[in-house]
Amino acid sequence: MTTLFAIVLASLVMAPGDEATPPPDENAKRIEAVKTYLLPDNTADQRQALKQLSEATPTQVADALANWRDHCKVEQEFQTLKINIPTGKRKPPKELIVEVKTPQEFKARTAYPLLIALHGQGGNGKQFLRAVVALLGEQSEGFIIAAPTDYNGMWLGASELESAEPNLLLDRLKRSFPIDTDRIYAMGYSIGGHASFLLATFYKDQIAATVSLAGTCAIQMGAECLDVLLPNIHNTPVLAVYGENDQSKDPTTNKPAGIAIWNRYIEQQAAKLNLPITMIELPGVGHGGVIPPKDQLKAYLTTKRAPLSKQVSHRFRYTSQARDGWLRQIKFLGRRWDSQQLIVSPANGETVAEAMAAMLEQKLGYLGGTIDGQTINIDTRKCSRIEVLLNDDLVDLDQPIKIVVDGTVRFEGLAKRSVKTMLEIAKEDWEFQRLFPVRFQIARKGKAVQR
């Protein structure tokens, strides 16, 4: 069945270089109201804009969201953003420096793909930005490229505050430039290659594809942890290019170790799990001089974010990592844990790796969900409160739905579409290509509440 939102969402993606069609006169007021509502200025004016838009249909508001982008003024091809990152109570915020390159012929109402460029150890954003531009050549003119310096939060071992940094970076970039949110990519070298791999693991909800150069999925805590988290990458393509000689010996076991060894293991696991991970091992190459094949790099950087899936399966450590499509955790259950608490005593017949994997599955948060017709089945772990976002591509909102969480029916009946809800979520996420007119919040007990 061709749905209202399938038609609307298909109209929202603008390819680089394509200007949005000037809105007809009858839409001009709605577009101006969207602009007033989204951009911080006068609270009273925003309330009036929301009232005006609430009287329109979802289709009309979706069209206005697609055509309002003319607020970005870019006067220089290269510029520097400074983003304040919280570091804790009574501590000054960290200032994350991000070097940004925009196309030379920048067009404010064009939605551009975003490439996040992540430097290696000892490098910085400015140097790596230049390297990426040289690598892409003319292709770089079709992108907004952002290269942070001394970034954090990409690792399983990061602190809770650090883990919020990738989302803060993405949010600021989306609000500062007209971004095609179906085409956000990450590419990094060495430690930056590790980070780009892990963005596909924890932040796949926002990433279309990643390219890891001379890096690996460095979970930091052993293969058993990798086995638990690797299945997260079930719909985000990853291209990993590395040298066959990028390895050494583990001083404690005298066995081969390093990026090449890890990537060969990941390739085996990805094949077993049918994950979209492509490994390219360059013969005779070590840690330096890793250059991806041009055709494959271009293919990955033209990939669009996977459509919303009716199946969700996502493990995470912190709430900032806890979102996958239409399902999100908004409050963690219980205490956080650190790596020093990961001490296991294997049962009879159980290996240390098996015991560690079982414990990690218990300590990590989990969001799983399946939409079968009009029934939404959700499984959670370590979730005190979750959020379910719906549109007509996921269920028929003209018919009753059922929401079952951890085996208990939490809602049964008709969900009400709301233009206000659609606008609120679009403003919170700065996302105009995935629109949700229905939002439920569900606590550990009680009925689901539509917000």
pLDDT for the residue numbered 348: 74
Mean pLDDT of 166-189: 96
**pLDDT tens-place string over residues 61-119:** 998 998 887 667 787 899 999 999 988 888 888 999 999 999 998 887 789 999 999 99
User: Does 146 score more than 60 pLDDT?
Assistant: yes
User: Does 323 score more than 80 pLDDT?
Assistant: yes
User: Does 10 score more than 60 pLDDT?
Assistant: no
Task: Please state the pTM of the whole predicted model.
Answer: 0.89
User: Does 359 score more than 70 pLDDT?
Assistant: yes
Which superfamily, per CATH, for 78-300?
Alpha/Beta hydrolase fold, catalytic domain (3.40.50.1820)
Task: Compare 300 and 337 and report the one with higher pLDDT.
Answer: 300
User: Does 16 score more than 50 pLDDT?
Assistant: no
Mean pLDDT of 324-350: 77
Q: Phi/psi of residue 432, each to 5°?
A: -115, 10
- Give me the DSSP letters along 170-225: HHHHHHHS-EEEEEEEEEEETHHHHHHHHHHHH-GGG-SEEEEES-----SS-HHH
Grouping H, G, I as helix, E, B as strand and the rest as coil, residue 243 is: strand
Query: Where are the domains positioned within the chain?
Result: 21-67, 78-300, 311-450
Share of the chain above pLDDT 70, in %: 90
Residue bearing tokens 């490229």 = 145
Cβ contacts of 296-300, under 8 Å, gap ≥ 24: 296/239, 297/135, 297/136, 297/211, 297/239, 298/139, 300/185, 300/209, 300/210, 300/211, 300/237, 300/239
